[in-house]
Amino acid sequence: MTTQQVANRYFELIKQNKRTEIQEELFSKDIVNREPEHVAAMGIPTVTIGLDAVKAKGKARMEMIETVHSDYCSEPVVAGNFFSVAFGRDITLKGKPRMKLEEIAVFELKEGMIISEQFFY
């Protein structure tokens, strides 16, 4: 698939909240996930390597959420082997007050698969 096709498929699946399908269908088994440095203080790893590790990290983060009040994903912007989207969520974490989160995600592709994802928030 081209970068545009992968970006379109990602957008289609994320609108349906099919995060597992995104990982299984679009991610390389050697995916690298990068988070901002400030999350290390919260016990979140800043670099996670490999599909199984990224899936486990995502599952652990989803289990922290008590309620998703609303969320959105912008349409992807594509440039070369990269695409980006903006995310927003209004959530309540277990034992925490309600909060709004916004972030930018940048994805890199190689041979039609997402090989890295980096989040800025």
Check which CATH number belongs to the domain holding 105 and give it.
3.10.450.50
pLDDT of residue 40: 87
Please list the pLDDT of the chain residue by residue as tens digits (121 residues).
999 999 999 999 999 999 999 999 999 999 999 999 998 888 889 999 999 999 999 898 889 999 999 999 999 999 999 999 999 999 999 999 999 999 999 999 999 999 999 999 9
pLDDT of residue 43: 82
pLDDT of residue 61: 86
pLDDT of residue 73: 97
Alpha helices, DSSP H, located in the chain: 3-15, 19-26, 51-63
The total number of structural domains that make up the chain: 1
Q: Which domain holds residue 83?
A: 3-120
CB atoms within 10 A of CB 72: 13
